[in-house]
Amino acid sequence: MSSPGKTRLVFLGPPGAGKGTQAASIADKLGVPHVSTGDILRAAVKADSPLGREAHRYMNAGQLVPDELVNRMVAERLTQADCTNGFLLDGFPRTLVQGRALEEALNKMKTALDAVISFDVSRQELIRRLTGRRACPECGANYHVESLKPKIEGICDRCGAKLVQRADDSLETVENRLEVYQRETADLIDYYRGQNLLKKVPGDLAIEEVQRRVLEALE
Ligand code: AMP
């Protein structure tokens, strides 16, 4: 399904808010690419590219990769042909500097964001989700040991690969990532509120219900 409505989107929210899960299915519904900076960076690390070698140490410590690296990576991605009619950015921007760089990149392309969806989830629930998360290293699908089990334990439903716990989903790193999010993203939320782009959606409901609310917010 393609949509003539809001298709240039940012999904904002702390790690574990369900951005990735929602972004994958909503991008599919809207017929736009799901652009996840976390996925692009993990692929670069896996391929051992220069970007991956640079990003690796920040990612493992739960810290943000430097703005210039990520800004360049996203600006390049958005000029690819599949982004012409829209895109869903997941995990970017994460700082005010990145938000401004995105605006500039879109200005150059003579376009602008249509909406920013912000997912709200309690800290306790975020920790439960992240430390119980299992990810597919091949296709990027996410599962949870209690609430989103694959059909066969430890195996990805989509591609059959063996699921792993991400190195940055350990309790200590998760606490650090949540702190980083609070510190870096607060200004960004105000920035988008000021531009009248921000739409808040509760992220602690059932996956289908959250999806319904996101689509409603985009109408
Ligand atoms: P995520 O999968 O979105 O949780 O991202 C995993 C890790 O990739 C983060 O903890 C950061 O180290 C890095 N990362 C992803 N997106 C960004 C971004 N927009 N800016 C800086 N670092 C990022």
Could you tell me the CATH number of the domain that includes residue 98?
A: 3.40.50.300
Q: With bands split at pLDDT 50, 70 and 90, how would you rate the model's confidence at 1?
A: very low
Mean pLDDT over 59-70 rounds to 92
Locate all alpha helices (DSSP H) within 6-110, ordered by sequence: 19-30, 37-47, 50-60, 67-78, 96-108
Strand-pairing partners, residue 164, are: 135
Number of domains in the chain: 1
Q: In this structure, is residue 134 part of a structural domain?
A: no
pLDDT of 4: 47
- Domain membership of residue 52 (yes or no) is yes
- Give the residue whose CA is nearest to atom 1 of ligand 1: 38
Q: What is the pTM of this model?
A: 0.87
**Mean pLDDT value of segment 15-34:** 93
Predicted pLDDT of residue 21: 87
Residue 190's domain comprises 8-121+185-218
Q: Is residue 54 part of a domain?
A: yes
Q: What is the mean pLDDT of residues 96-119?
A: 96
Q: Is the pLDDT of residue 3 over 60?
A: no
The reply to whether 151 falls in a domain is: no
Q: Cα Rg for the chain, rounded, in angstroms? A: 17
Distance CA(196)–CA(204), nearest Å, equals 24
Distance 99 CA to ligand 1 centre (A): 14
Whether residue 199 lies in the annotated active site: no
77 is catalytic: no
Range 131-160 average pLDDT? 94
Q: Is 177 annotated in the active site?
A: yes
> Cβ distance 19 to 7 under 8 Å?
no
Angle between helices 67-78 and 50-60 (to 10 degrees): 130
Cα(first)–Cα(last) distance of the chain, in Å?
A: 15
Active-site residue 46, yes or no?
no
The active-site residue, picked from 19, 42, 77, 129, is 19
Percentage of the residues of the chain whose pLDDT score is greater than 70: 98
Average pLDDT, the chain: 93
Flag whether 133 is in a domain.
no
Q: How far is the CA of 65 from the centre of ligand 1 (A)?
A: 7
Does the residue 36 lie in any domain? yes
Q: Is residue 96 part of a domain?
A: yes
Residue of 77, 177, 199, 213 with catalytic role: 177
Residue 131 within any structural domain of the chain: no
